[in-house]
Each structure stands twice: as C-alpha cells, then as structure tokens.
C-alpha cells in the first residue's frame, strides 16, 4: 500500500471545515486500504448512555442491532482488550490474549456471528489524552495486513481525526477536562478490575489471567487501598465513578 495516502489524510484533517468532509476523507482512505467497516467513538463514562458517542461509523447492515440486543459489548474481546491496552492492536491478537477467558464460549459465538456479517479481522487504535483513555478508532472487515510503518501512521491518523471531530463539535476542551484519576494502576491491576467489574469471582479471574486466586485477592486488597474502598463492591463502584471501566 502507499503510505502517502495516510500522510495525505494527516495533512488534510486540519484543513476540513465540516464533519461531512472529515468523514469523507477518512472513508476514502479506509476504502483504498480495503477496510469496509469502522467506528470512531468517544469512550463512555459511567453516567453516559451510548447516544452521541459515535463520531463516525459504518457497520454491516443489521450488525449493530444484533450486537446491542445480545449485549456483545460485555464479551467483545476488542473492547475488553481496549481497557488494558497501552497501544494499538489487531482484533485477532485480542482474541488470542483472552483465550482462557471464562466467557470464551460466548465470545466465540459473537466472533462467529461477526464473521457472517463480514467482520473477519481488523485493528483497534486507542486514543488517550492527559487523563487517560478517551476513545478509539476500530477498522476492519476482510483481513488486511498493515506493515509496522502503516500501522503507526494509522495510529496517528486515528488520533488526529478523533481530535478534529471534537474540535469541529466544540467538545475538545470539555473531554480533556474530565476529572483526572490521580491513582496510578498497573496493567495487571487494570486487568483485575475490569474482570471484577464484570462480576467474576476470584477463582474465575485467576483462571482468566492464569494466576492463583490468592494472587487475585492480593491485587484486590491493593485496589481497595488505592481506591480507598471498603470492599470489592466498593472497588467496582469507584472504578465506574472514575471512568476506569464502563
């Protein structure tokens, strides 16, 4: 592929004057690379519903209705990986990372159904701000192999496009002003807290992360101290309030 196409988007993003122009530029690039579907979304906070979170998107007809009605967001490997990822990743890598997940069976049903809708593989690009994860861009459809250079440029394009949409909507400053979480959590603590928020027991979390239940309890005790929570239910409540999980 010609990486100049991605570079061109990075240049043009700052020049567009409307959301429609920006969407057209993004979709033109994705089409050239063979990506049929995409979503550019703001990460929901604990008090928000899904309305208005999509900045731009295109999915197979009927897929979103299936996704929402069957609550696939709870087992979607890309969404679960997004909560702990520090950089971009491929959909199939998220599936591999969660191969021992207690919800693996339901996850497989979701993936099989997604493939019937043409969602075979893709990439996820997190967008972080000063205060943590703010949103993401996911692109996919038929498998497309991006080179490391192309992936890095797509990552930059995702971030630039995300912020340009917010600038055009007058929401950039508001989103960056979200209260900062002073408490710094490790990657493993984030993994534990995400699974805890989904209602998993210590034994289930241990199986998913391939560690002992004693180690899981040790992490939970540490989370209680960091979040000043009285028990694990309080840990989950605090995590939702602070936007650590959704």
Q: Does this chain's domain 4-176 share its CATH topology with 187-241?
A: no
The average pLDDT across 223-237 equals: 85
CA distance 76 to 80: 6
Q: Which helix (H) or strand (E) segment is 69 a member of?
A: helix 63-69
Task: Band the pLDDT of 56: cuts 50, 70, 90.
Answer: very high
Q: Where along the chain do its domains lie?
A: 4-176, 187-241
Q: Lowest-pLDDT range, 72-81, 123-132, 171-180, 189-198?
A: 171-180
Architecture per CATH, domain 187-241, reads as Orthogonal Bundle (1.10)
pLDDT digits (tens, 9 = 90+) for 1-35: 578 899 999 999 989 999 999 999 999 999 999 99
**In angstroms, what CA-CA distances link 134 with 31, 94, 208?**
26, 19, 26
**What is residue 46's predicted lDDT score, i.e. its pLDDT?**
42
**Comparing 21 with 188, which gets the higher pLDDT?**
21
- Kindly provide the residue ranges of all beta strands, DSSP E only, lying in 59-195, ordered along the sequence: 89-90, 121-129, 132-141
* Class (C level, CATH) for 4-176: alpha beta
């Amino acid at each position: 592929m010609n990486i100049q196409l991605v570079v061109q988007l990075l240049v043009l993003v700052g020049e567009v004057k409307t959301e429609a122009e920006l969407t057209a530029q993004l979709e033109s690039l994705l089409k050239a690379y063979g990506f049929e579907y995409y979503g550019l979304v703001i990460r929901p906070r604990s008090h928000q519903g899904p309305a208005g979170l999509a900045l731009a998107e295109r999915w197979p007809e009927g897929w979103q209705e299936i996704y929402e009605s069957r609550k696939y967001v709870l087992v979607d490997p890309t969404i679960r990986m997004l909560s702990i990822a520090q950089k971009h990743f491929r959909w199939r890598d998220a599936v591999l990372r969660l191969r021992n997940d207690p919800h693996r069976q339901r996850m497989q049903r979701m993936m099989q159904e997604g493939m019937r809708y043409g969602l075979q593989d893709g990439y996820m690009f997190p967008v972080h701000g000063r205060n943590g994860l703010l949103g993401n861009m996911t692109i996919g459809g038929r498998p497309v192999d991006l080179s490391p250079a192309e992936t890095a440029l797509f990552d930059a394009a995702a971030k630039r496009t995300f912020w340009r949409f917010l600038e055009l909507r007058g929401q950039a400053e508001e989103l960056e002003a979200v209260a900062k979480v002073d408490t710094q959590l490790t990657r493993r603590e984030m993994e534990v807290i995400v699974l805890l928020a989904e209602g998993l027991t210590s034994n289930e979390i241990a199986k998913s992360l391939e560690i002992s239940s004693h180690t899981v309890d040790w992490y939970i005790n540490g989370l209680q101290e960091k979040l000043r929570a009285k028990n694990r239910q309080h840990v989950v409540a605090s995590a939702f309030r602070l936007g650590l999980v959704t």
